[in-house]
């Protein structure tokens, strides 16, 4: 069962929707639930930590867009996000920062395999009393360590082009403490984006040898 439409409908109406008090199970502003709000700062700038959310999203293969929509919806239902205060709305940048903070220290990478996938999602948008549907495409990249088939991470480039895919992969390795000095092999699926002399593999090889000269 595809629930993508329902997820994005909640996300699009997050700020305008006002839940009734009777429908709320708990309110994080209630003194009884102070222990549930360690992420709310006393200063005017409210900060949100999402260590578990980032990890669980990757563990179950949920896209960043879906994780962001679900997390924001939950925070809206339980209280911190209201129609007058949207400081704690979760976005892709917050999720990526949390992933970087929780990235474990790993052994030097010897083999890298990456696989691309494009998902088409039907989005239901509500404008006043009318609903409209449109289709959007989400690009996904899965990075796998070889040998051993160890899952590294899941990336979501803005577009499925050679330039964008390679920039997303390179940007990921630049943002973490992953040792590439012992990288021996790079492999990928057989799509035209990933193969050929202008492919993602070629661009990544150029980046690798420019940062790790022989």
What digits encode the pLDDT tens for the residues 87-128?
A: 667 777 877 777 777 665 446 777 888 777 777 778 888 888
Residue pLDDT, tens place only, 122-158: 888 888 888 888 887 777 778 888 777 778 777 877 7
Please tell me the distance from the alpha carbon of residue 190 to that of residue 34, in angstroms, as a whole number: 53
Please tell me the distance from the alpha carbon of residue 129 to that of residue 109, in angstroms, as a whole number: 53
Report whether pLDDT(175) > 50: yes
For the chain, the average pLDDT equals: 66
pTM more than 0.75 = no
- What is the pLDDT, as a whole number, of residue 25? 44
Strands 111-127 and 185-188: parallel
Q: Which two tokens stand for residue 15?
A: 């700020």
Q: Which residue has the higher pLDDT, 73 or 59?
A: 73
pLDDT bin (cut points 50, 70, 90) of residue 161 is: confident
Give the three-state DSSP class for 3: coil
- What is the pLDDT, as a whole number, of residue 22? 41
CA atoms within 13 A on the CB side of 191: 15
pLDDT bin (cut points 50, 70, 90) of residue 43 is: very low
Give the three-state DSSP class for 195: coil
Give the three-state DSSP class for 152: strand
Report whether pLDDT(81) > 70: no
């Amino acid at each position: 069962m595809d629930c993508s439409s329902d997820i994005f409908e909640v996300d699009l109406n997050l700020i305008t929707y006002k839940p009734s008090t009777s429908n709320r199970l708990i309110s994080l502003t209630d003194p009884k639930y102070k222990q549930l709000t360690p992420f709310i700062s006393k200063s005017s700038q409210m900060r949100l930590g999402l260590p578990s959310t980032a990890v669980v999203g990757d563990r179950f293969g949920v896209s960043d867009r879906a994780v962001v929509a679900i997390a924001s919806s939950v925070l809206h239902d339980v209280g911190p996000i209201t129609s007058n205060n949207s400081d704690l709305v979760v976005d892709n940048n917050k999720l990526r920062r949390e992933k970087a903070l929780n990235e474990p220290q790993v052994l030097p990478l010897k083999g890298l395999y990456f696989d691309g996938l494009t998902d088409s999602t039907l989005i239901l948008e509500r404008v006043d009393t009318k609903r409209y549907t449109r289709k959007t495409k989400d690009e996904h990249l899965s990075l796998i360590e070889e040998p051993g088939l160890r899952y590294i991470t899941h990336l979501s480039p803005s577009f499925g082009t050679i330039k964008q895919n390679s920039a997303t992969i390179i940007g990921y390795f630049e943002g973490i403490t992953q040792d590439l000095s012992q990288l021996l092999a790079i492999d990928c699926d057989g799509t035209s984006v990933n193969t050929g002399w202008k492919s993602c593999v070629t661009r990544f090889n150029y980046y690798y040898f420019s940062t790790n000269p022989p």
